Structure formats: C-alpha cells, structure tokens
Structure 1
Amino acid sequence: MSPIRLSDLAFTLEAVVDQHFGGKAVWVLAETSDIKNYPDRNYCFLTLVERETSSAGQQETLAKLEACIWRRNYHTIREFESATGVAFARNIKLLLLVSVGFNPVYGLRLEILKIDPSYTLGNLERERQAVLDALLRDHPDLIWQEAGQYITANQLLPRPTVLQRLALITAPNSDGWRDFRHELQTNPFGYNFQVDEYLTQVQGQGAEKAICDQLRRIQDSGIAYDAVVMVRGGGSQLDFGSFDTYQLGQTVAGFGIPILAGIGHERNVSITDLLCHQSVKTPTKAAAFLIEHNRRFEEGCLHLGNRLTGAVREALQNAQERLDSDTERLKFVLHTYFRDRHNELTEKAVTIRHLDPSNVLKRGYALLLRNGRIITKAGDLQPGDKAQLQLSDGRLDVIISQPVDDQQTPSQLMQ
C-alpha cells in the first residue's frame, strides 16, 4: 500500500468530523483539568477528562480531549461562577454544551458553548448529602435530626457566659486571620481576648487532615478554652470543600469545646456550618459575634446593677420615711409622757404641800415630841415624862401628869 500525505489524512479527518458533528452541539459530562485562562483576552484553553476508580481504588483516565472557550462564549464562565459561587478551576465535574471541530494544524478540539450551573450545584449538593447521611448512620450519638434540623453534641454544649479564652484555627497571615484579629482588637468596648493561634492549611489538598490535627492538639492541650474559632478568608467553593468532608464533620460534631465557624462563604452552608456550635458568614462576623456575646453579658450586669441601685435607693427612701414617721411618733409619745409626768408631779407637789407638817400645824394640829422624836403612841410615854408640844407658832414643854391609857389621846395625857 502506498503512503498518503499527512495533510490528506488530516483533511480526511476534518471532513469526517465535520460530516458527523458539523453544525451540531452535544451535551457532555466531563471534569476540568490543565486550565489556562486569559480573562484579559477573553479566552480559555483547558483539558476535559473522564476518570473512573478501578477495583484497586486508583483513578484511571478513560478519555481526554482538548477544549477551548472563545471570546464569543467567554461570558459563560462568569455566568457559571456567579450562579454557583464556584470558581472555574481544575477538578470540577461539569455539564457542557460543546461543538466538535478538527483542524488539520491544531487537531481535534471541543469548543465550549455553554456550562450548565444547575448540574454542578446539584452534584455538590448530592455529594454533601451523601456525607451527612453517612454521619447520621455511623454516629447517631454525635449527630441526629429533629424536625428536619441537624442536632449535634457540639451544639448542645453549654456556652460560657463570657467568651474570652479562645483557640483560633486559621491559615497564617491570611485575610481571614487579619480580619478576625483586627475586629477583636479594635472592638469599641475595650474587651480583652486571649487568643491562642493554631495555624494551619485550611483549603486545598490535605486541609481536612490538617484541621482535624489542630482540633486534636486543642483537645489534648488541657487548656480550658471557652470556644474554638475556625476562620478562613475568601476563596472559591471548591476551596471550601475541606469543610464538607466526613472526617471533619465527625470531629466537629463530637468536639468537647464549642466551635464557632466563620469560614468565609456567602452562598452555601457547609457540613461544618451545620454541625458546629455556632456558624456565621465571615471571620469578621465571627469576631463580631464574640464581642456581641460579651456585650450582652455586660449589659445584663449593668441592668442588674441599675436595678440593684434603684432597689437600694428605694429601700433607703422607704427606711428614711419609716424613720421619719417613727421619729414623729416617738416625739409625740415622749411629749405626752413628759406632759403626763409633769401633771403627776404637779399634783404630788400640791399633795406634799398639804401634808407639810408646818401647814398641818397651821390647821390646828400639834406634834408631840420627846427628845426630838415624834411620839405617835400613848404607850410610849409614862407619867412624869417630859415632852415638847410643837404648835404652828412655837414649842411648849409639857410633863405627863397622869397614868397612860392606851385609849387616851396625847392631848388627854397632858391635861
């Protein structure tokens, strides 16, 4: 058989491809690889592959074709990223509308006309749901569902009244690290936080194991942390994948310290978000959550302080009012008491004046004395005894001249 020219073979292949695929578009399932994107020029070259896992657990490539996106369809990349939140990058499974072309110089190439974002979103959601189902099945003591919500042991941990001693898991010198530390340090209330940093890789291959290793370090440290804060800066949805894994989900669900996640996403909720103690959108919001939590405690203390101050002020006012009332009552009682005693003393003074011997003598009575002692009984005197008779205007000496009779009065004795 005589050889043919290479160009003849190439033109023949071009004709065959054009005959079968010319003017047609085909939907293809493929995975991206070796992307060379030129956004400033609005075109992109990449390789599309199909892989299969062998019985030995190895990834085998079944097919590989070169592809491109030209200027007229370059907008489909931006539309895909906007719809999914996933950066157009390597190792993404996509549903693509392509046209097949063969060029004698550049060979066989697929031109990508459109990317279906719903397939990517659905595929990510299916993978995530499969992980959640496996966790529910394998660890019912750590994660379960109630009323359609995922409940975990970490979520049920009591939250400390004040969150101040923190373990921070993040990438060194990352935007997430800077945003979180800046927000804490510049809080308007002057709160102080003690933050121990556990710096590690948080995205890309190996990130899942690195994060779990840091969580084990925290658990084994013996330090009584109030919370573990896990933050990450911006990135694509694929970079977010380390937070959607079985191993990290299990570790987070059963971790013995409350975990606060602020891993920089705005669109989707990761498995880590679903299973941790508290999830917020960004590192900045994670710091804001801690500040607000402590602020609520301070406001509660201030409120109680104000209530206590008011209660003390009211108690003192009531006590003062009772004291004033009791003082007035005491004044009244004392006034009445002293008035009554004064009246009694006045009456007794009058009585004493009436009973004064000098006044009694003036009324015609006399006192019989002997040796300066008042004689009150007739038997105290004998005939011949000398005595003195005290009258109102003087004293007389008298002699007892007759026998004493107990029935006689002193005046009869002196007759």
Structure 2
Amino acid sequence: MSPIRLSDLAFTLEAVVDEAFGQKAVWVVAETSDIKNYPDRGYCFLTLVERESAGRETLAKLDACIWRRNYHTIGAFEQATGVAFARNIQLLLLVSVSFSPVYGLRLEILKIDPSYTLGNLERERQAVLDSLVQNHPELIWVEAGQYITANQLLPRPAVMQKLALIAAPHSDGWRDFRHELAQNQFGYDFVVDEYLTQVQGQGAERAICGQLERIRTSGIAYDAVVIVRGGGSQLDFGSFDTYMMGETVAGFSIPILAGIGHERNVSITDLLCHQSVKTPTKAAAFLIEHNRQFEATCLQLHERLRIVAREAMQTARENLDRETERLRFVGHTYFRERHTDLTEKTVTIRHLDPARVLRRGYALLLRDGRILTQTATIQLNETLQVQMHDGSITVVVSQ
C-alpha cells in the first residue's frame, strides 16, 4: 500500500467532519478543564472532558474555544447562575465541530445552558438534604414544607453580646462584620472571640467544622456563633452545601447566625442554621437590632412602670385624702358628742353639788365628819353635827 501525504489525510478528515457536522450544532454535556480565558481579547480556550462517574477516569477529551462573537455567553451564564465560569463544572453546551488541517479537531462553544447547571446544583443540594433528614431525624425534619432543625429551636438569648466568629482571616467578610459591629449607633459593646479559618476551597468544610468543635469544647458560654463570608461565585460557597456542614450546623448546641454573602441561592447552611442573613454586614446589623429591641422593651417597661407607679401614687393619695376627710368628720362628730355629754354631766354635777343642796334649805347630819343616812345608827344622847349652808351646829339626840 502506497503512503499518502499528511495533508491529504488531513484534508480527508476535514471533509469527513464537515460532511458529518458542517452547518450543524449539537448539544453536549461535558466538564470544563484547563481554561485559558482572555477577557480583554474576547476569547477563551479550554478542554472539555468526560469522566467515569465512579473512578473519575477520563473517557473523552476535546479542545474547545469561545470566539469573540459568542464570548458574551460566559457573562450571561455567570449572571444567570451565580456560578463562575471555571474548571470542573458540568455544563450543557451547544457546540459546532470543525477540523483544521493545521490546528486539528476543535469544538466551538456557541451557547451555555444555565438551567442545566442550576438544576444540577439544586439536585445535588436536595440529595444532601434528603440524606440528612433520613439519617438524622432527631436533628432535622420537615414540617409544612420547611426544614426544622434542633439549632433553629434553641432559645435565643435576650441579649447577644458574647460571640464566637468564624471567618477567613482579614477577609472582606471579617472586616465588614467587625466594622459594622464596632460602629453601631447605639454604642453597644460586643465581646467577639475569633476562630479564623479558610471558608472556601478544598477542605473548607472540615476546617469550619473543626472550629465549631473548638467552640463546643471551649467551655465558654457564647450567646451565638457567627459564620461570615464575603461575596463570590456560587462555587465559592460549595463548602456550605456539604453533608458535613449540614449535620454539624443542624445539631450544634449554640445558635448559629450565618452571614454568607451570596444573594442568589440559599445554601444548606442557610437552611439549617438558627438564623440566616445575606451578608456579613447584615449579620452584624441583625445582632445590633436584636439588642436594640431588648433595650426598647426595657424602656417600654420602664415607662409603663413609671405610669403605673404614678397612677398608684395618685390613687393612694386620693384614698388618703378621702380617709383623712372621713377621719376628720368622724373625729369632729365624736368630740362634739362628747362635749355635749360633758356639758350635760357638768350641769348635773352642779345641781348635785352639796353646797347648792344646802343652800336650798337642806342640812347634813354628821358623826365625826361622816354623813349619816339611817336613824337606826343613831343613839340616844349622842352628840352629832348638823351642817348647813352657812355653817354647822352641834346637837344632842334626846328623842
């Protein structure tokens, strides 16, 4: 068999590929790898691979590109999904197939379907949630379509002041949270112990759960644990969507406040923690507002107590005035009646005064100065005294 020129083989391959795929576009599912993105030039080179699900063995690998005319599809994908266009993402792509005798076989990416990626993320998250509910029914269960966890049911302290903070060291999330907390307009003081660690990337969930274990065994009575992370792509928040994080957060013995800076999707950590807010700044604002409500309640109770005390004093004063008036009236009546009694008794006593009686012609018969009232006690020839109003005389009993 005579050899052929390489160019003849290449042109033949080009014709075969053009006949099979020319003027056609096909949808393929593939995983991204080896991305070389040039935003300033408006094109991107990458490798698309298919791996065996169990062993991760590579089954197929093809080079691909996105040219300027379709470069906008990257931004549209990121905006629709919140996922950064990066390596190791499973994508549904509309591609055209071409073969160049010089550059070889290449796929040109025309479109990226964001709904496929969103569906994959949601399916993976739902599978994790289903496993948690099945394996830990004492920590997480579903009521009326809502996930309920042991951490959510923990009593919330009236004042959240002693805090454990989990964040990446000197990150934007860490800085925003501390600044908002320190600059609160009410002048509240917070005691924050920092448990700094990585919060994204490979092994991040183990690092975060390790810090939660440190907090649990510290013996410190924290009012709440705050987990914060600044903004980023959806893939950057993968550590908050894992089975390990869900299990740890759902059963943690201290209320967990999550301030994870992603606006688009709700992570498993958000769903299962005690309270979730969107950003580190809002996490600090939530704590400030919680304490402000406690202060407002105290001020309302203080005002209510002041009003009740004032009303009680007013009622007591009115009762005292009424009882004083009643006592005055009763006392006045009593003394008036006693004065009348004394006047009558005075008149009676005056009428019974012996001097007055003697003046009316009566006399007293006395023996040794003692008044005699019965004749049986008087003896014959006894000497007695007769007292009259103007003097006394001595008499002898003769009969």
TM superposition score category, shorter chain reference: over 0.9
Q: Mapping of 1:234-383 within 5 angstroms?
A: 234-383=231-380
SS in 2 for 1:101: strand
Q: Which runs of 5+ in 1 are unaligned?
A: 403-415
Query: Which range moved further: 295-304 or 264-273?
Result: 295-304
TM-score, length basis structure 2:
0.94
The equivalent of 2:66 in structure 1 is 69
Aligned AA for 1:105? V
Percent same amino acid at aligned positions?
78
2:44 corresponding residue in structure 1:
44
CA distance in 2, matches of 1:175, 1:254: 28
How many Å apart are 1:191 and its aligned residue?
A: 1.9
Corresponding residue number in structure 2 for 1:18: 18
The correspondence of residues 84-233 of structure 1 with structure 2, limited to 5 A, is 84-233=81-230
Question: After TM superposition, what 4+ stretches of structure 1 lie above 6 angstroms from structure 2?
Answer: none
Pick the structure with greater CA Rg.
1
Q: Secondary structure in 2 aligned to 1:319?
A: helix
> What's the C-alpha RMSD, in Å, of the aligned pairs?
1.9
Tell me, in whole angstroms, the C-alpha distance in 2 between the residues paired with 1:134 and 1:351: 110
Q: Deviations over 1:223-261 (max 9, x none)?
A: 222221111111100011111111111111222222111
Moved more, 341-350 or 363-372: 363-372
- The DSSP-based 3-state class of the residue aligned with 2:347 is helix
Secondary structure of 1:238's partner?
Answer: helix
How big is the shift at 1:3?
5.5
Query: What are the Cα deviations for residues 169-202 of structure 1, in whole angstroms up to 9, with x where unaligned?
Result: 1111111111111121122222222211111111
> Who is 1:408 aligned against?
none
Paired amino acid for 1:178: R
Shift of 1:24: 1.7
Give the Cα–Cα distance (whole angstroms) in 2 for the partners of residues 216 and 3 of structure 1.
Answer: 70
Provide the secondary structure at the position in 1 that maps to 2:184: coil
Comparing 370-379 and 107-116, the one that deviates more: 370-379
Q: Deviations over 1:292-336 (max 9, x none)?
A: 222222222222222222222222111111111110000001000
Q: Give distance in 1, aligned partners of 2:52 and 2:283.
A: 40
Distance in 1 between the 2:348 and 2:74 partners?
A: 125
Q: TM-score, normalised by structure 1?
A: 0.91
Task: Give distance in 1, aligned partners of 2:322 and 2:141.
Answer: 66
SS of residue paired to 2:52: strand
**Corresponding residue SS for 1:37:** strand
Gaps of 5+ in 2: none
Residue identity in the other structure for 2:348: T
Matched residue count: 399
Q: What's the offset of the Cα at 1:400?
A: 2.2
